[in-house]
Chains A and B, each alone.
Chain A
Amino acid sequence: MAKVTMIQAINQALGLAMERDPKVMVLGEDVGKNGGVFRATEGLLDRFGEARVVDTPLAESAIVGSAVGLAMGGMRPVAEIQFFGFIYETMDQIGTQASRMRFRSQGRFHVPLVIRAPFGGGVRTPEIHSDSLEAFFCHMPGLKVVTPSTPYDAKGLLLSAIQDPDPVLFIEPMRLYRAFREEVPEDWYEVPLGHARIAKSGDDVTVVAWGPMVPVAEAAAEKAGQEGISVEVLDLRTLSPIDTQAIIASVQKTGRAVVVHEAVRTGGFGAEVAALIQEHAFLSLEAPVLRVTGYDTPFPVPSIEDLWLPDAGRLLEAITTVVRY
């Protein structure tokens, strides 16, 4: 088994899916000749041709809106939005069309569409390129929201997403694209949607994380361990539909929880996780559920982002607080 980066794993998944099913196609800005600005689609144009690897005009609403039609017409489009922040341009096609077509048509039509987008901070981008907007999309019935934190999961989750009969927003943590390599099977395998993963097991406190915050949680867990605190790190992997059972099982074991996300605090998905915990595991709780998040400001300029983003230090503080509560 070769060791690959997350971006290579994603590229492998796209290649395998296109090999197996001639209906699978990718479309987006710069996905063809350029292979995507992060090279997620590198080599696909040569292998599958320009009918199935499509450089579209620079128009996000057209990318998603036409992909909705392509999907209803029998294709399996994988649309790329170049940066998650640009998805504002196509909120309507996702929120009022892709996610609702099955419901509106009472099952006559469905939209097997995957929308991929790189997201998150830590890579010194210009404005709007680093935003974490997952909460908007977890608020859209009919849509699934998935985010991997490892190369292995990236490939297996993406293959599941492409097979899924419903629209899936697949957001990829930009800072993890090339952060590390791990062994990934070259062949087809699937990681099922809707299931969280225990990234590290522990007894004293549960840290709920996803995407780019999983390595941060693991680092905080490592530091906490040195202080004698045993942290369980839960990687949600699928945000919608959420794996409530996994969260509750973990919190019932540890009695404490901290949720960490890059996205701004108010109305963030962490609030949903905290609410679920108090609804289902109130009597197990030894301390309030804390959130470690971005601040309620627009994502800052690169010179400030390291301070703004949740890091292992901030997370460790919260872990210590709930343990000492």
Chain B
Amino acid sequence: MKPDKEFPIRRVIDEDGQLVGDRSGVTDDELKEFYRWLVTLRTLDQRAWNLQRQGRIGTYPPFSGQEATQVGVVAALDRMDWICGSYRDWAALAYAGVPLYYPLLNSMGHPVSGNIPDSVQALPVQVVIAAQILHAVGLAWSAKLQGQDRVAVTFFGDGATSQGDFHEALNLASVMKAPVIFVAQNNQWAISVPISRQMNSQTIAQRSLAYNIEGVRVDGNDIIAVFQTLKEVAARVRAGKGPALVEAVTYRLGAHTTADDPTRYRPSDEEARLSHGEPVARLKRYLLGAGILGEEDFQRIDDEAKATVDEAVKTAESYPKSASETVFDHVYQDLTEPLKQQRAAFRQRVAEGGGQRG
């Protein structure tokens, strides 16, 4: 088998923004909306990085480079479909309807960032690599058992494919024919470990063969290709054809988190080479070349994105603090006797001014 031939990368616009595939099914208006989202999210991501550097938020995991995959996938879903992501998937959550100030609050250590609004069918982000993949299987399975017309989508990285939970999830989903879409965001790096040391397979998508499920590879920096692919895959999964594995080939443009320095391990020529095709600039080149948007539009979109992000920062920074004792509120539905005693002691400490730094 030649995996790169069996699982070719689907692509509609190339790195330079040239149309190289079939754009059907995606309207100009949809593209304009995608572009507006990509710019807003990129602006947010870069602002978050700067806010961390200014000490205004804590550790932050940037998603720059992965916006097209996350937005393109969610755009292809129905409103009631489940989304199960990880810490680098705030772009997906934001597009699904989570307020833009949530990722900022998350990095500021505000607990509300775990409480995804009821209107969005998504789990809160969690950090144990690959754990959420099994939750997606369970959610999809529960939808099937209850006769609900819902699929579950889970996002994870290339590093996650080395975990046991990845294997267990794909195997179980295949056996149960659970309507779940596994989206591997192959951004080439798991902190400092390149994909070549993560696996000796040529592609992630080829692993679908082992589970007898559908597997496809798509250019994760090409939002048109991602959106089209997911539309098709979701329709098959929704129709009861079983789960699917989508490998979105992308590139982590920046560091793992604000606490990481990729110059320690990542060659700069690779960065230069693989950054060129990044999703925002690529879509911009295409829109410009195709005459769908012009320079004035781009300026307006940039300005709007900046204003939107300014607003998100303002909301995050003025967000009411959570009362400290709420730490006891959501451990169990009802406070247990031991927790009642501990909360009383905690309250006492707070009342006496304890816990103040310095």
Residues of A that sit less than 8 Å from B by CB: 25, 51-52, 54, 56-57, 59, 61-62, 65-75, 92-93, 96-97, 101-110, 141-142, 144, 165-166, 194, 241-245
> Which residues of B from 245 to 294 have beta carbons under 8 Å from A?
none
CB <8 Å contact, B164 and A104? no
CB <8 Å contact, B131 and A194? no
> Which residues of B from 18 to 63 have beta carbons under 8 Å from A?
none
How near does chain B come to A64, taking the closest CB pair, in angstroms? 8
CB <8 Å contact, B137 and A65? yes
How near does chain A come to B124, taking the closest CB pair, in angstroms? 5
Most buried by A among B82, B118, B137: B137
Q: Which residue of B is nearest A62, CB measured?
A: B168
Question: B142 contacts which of A69, A142, A166 (Cβ < 8 Å)?
Answer: A69
B123 on interface, CB distance cutoff 8 Å: yes
- Contacting chain A: which of B5-13, B236-244, B299-307, B324-332? B324-332
Q: Which residue of A is nearest B178, CB measured?
A: A66
CB <8 Å contact, A97 and B164? no
CB <8 Å contact, A241 and B165? no
CB <8 Å contact, B171 and A59? yes
Question: A106 contacts which of B84, B115, B140, B175 (Cβ < 8 Å)?
Answer: B115
How near does chain A come to B25, taking the closest CB pair, in angstroms? 30
CB <8 Å contact, B146 and A244? no
CB <8 Å contact, A108 and B115? yes
B1 on interface, CB distance cutoff 8 Å: no
Q: Which residue of B is nearest A141, CB measured?
A: B331
What are some 27 contacts across the A-B interface (CB < 8 A)? A56-B175, A57-B168, A61-B168, A62-B169, A62-B171, A62-B172, A65-B134, A65-B135, A69-B139, A69-B141, A71-B138, A72-B123, A72-B139, A73-B139, A73-B143, A74-B146, A97-B126, A103-B114, A104-B114, A105-B116, A106-B115, A107-B329, A109-B123, A110-B333, A241-B339, A242-B338, A243-B337
Q: Which residue of B is nearest A243, CB measured?
A: B337
> Which residues of B from 294 to 353 have beta carbons under 8 Å from A?
329-333, 336-339
A69 to B171 alpha-carbon distance, docked (Å): 16
A-B interface contact total, Cβ < 8 Å: 145
A30 to B133 alpha-carbon distance, docked (Å): 24
B112 on interface, CB distance cutoff 8 Å: yes
Q: A65-B169, A69-B137, A141-B331 are in contact. Are A105 and B114 (CB under 8 A)?
A: yes
CB <8 Å contact, B336 and A57? no
Q: Which residue of B is nearest A69, CB measured?
A: B138
How near does chain A come to B172, taking the closest CB pair, in angstroms? 5
Given contact pairs A97-B128, A244-B338, a sample of 13 additional A-B residue pairs in the complex whose CB atoms are under 8 Å apart: A59-B171, A65-B135, A68-B138, A69-B135, A72-B139, A73-B82, A73-B141, A104-B114, A106-B115, A106-B329, A109-B124, A194-B336, A241-B338
CB <8 Å contact, A97 and B172? no
Contacts of B140 in A (CB 8 A): 69
CB <8 Å contact, A57 and B175? yes
B210 on interface, CB distance cutoff 8 Å: no
CB <8 Å contact, A166 and B333? yes
Q: Which residue of B is nearest A113, CB measured?
A: B138
Question: A107 contacts which of B82, B84, B115, B336 (Cβ < 8 Å)?
Answer: B115
Q: Which residue of A is nearest B171, CB measured?
A: A57
Question: B330 contacts which of A57, A96, A107 (Cβ < 8 Å)?
Answer: A107
How near does chain B come to A104, taking the closest CB pair, in angstroms? 5
Question: B134 contacts which of A61, A75, A102, A108 (Cβ < 8 Å)?
Answer: A61
A238 to B146 alpha-carbon distance, docked (Å): 32
CB <8 Å contact, A75 and B146? yes
